[in-house]
Amino acid sequence: MSWDVDLIDDRGHCEGSWNYTHNTSRMIYAVLEDAGVDLGTWAEERPGWNYSNGEPVRRTWWDHLNGMSGPDGAAYLHTIAEALADDPERFRAMNPENGWGNYDTLLDLLREMARSVPEWPCKWEANG
């Protein structure tokens, strides 16, 4: 399973498209939690999600990115990437045991995404 993010300009042109494994998302959640970012929860059930424990499902980090303007999303991604870069030992310890994804490639990918915003209007479209 993976998340998918596209950067779409105001003419509908795709400026960039990225995809990465969910296995490293816990690193991003740790950064957001440390920063006090409340992603909120979904008000209603989402199809295909497991609600067996009765807990509300929190919004994902990519749900938060979805719909942001290019510059706002770039700032969000930059903040995450730099927090990851500030503590590589901590986050490398979170590398998935199955080998699918790792800290270093996630960090490179987030930095690439943040750098990809053009000068013209665009927005982020994300799903997972």
Q: What is the pLDDT of residues 20-64, one digit of tens each?
A: 999 999 999 999 999 988 776 654 555 545 545 555 566 789 999
Instruction: Please report, for residues 18, 38, 62, 93, the alpha-carbon distance to residue 58 in angstroms, rounded to integers and kept in the order given.
Output: 23, 9, 11, 24
Position 19 scores a pLDDT of 96
pLDDT digits (tens, 9 = 90+) for 59-92: 789 999 999 999 999 999 999 999 999 999 999 9
- Cα dihedral 111, 115, 117, 123, rounded to 10, equals 10
Position 66 scores a pLDDT of 95
Position 53 scores a pLDDT of 53
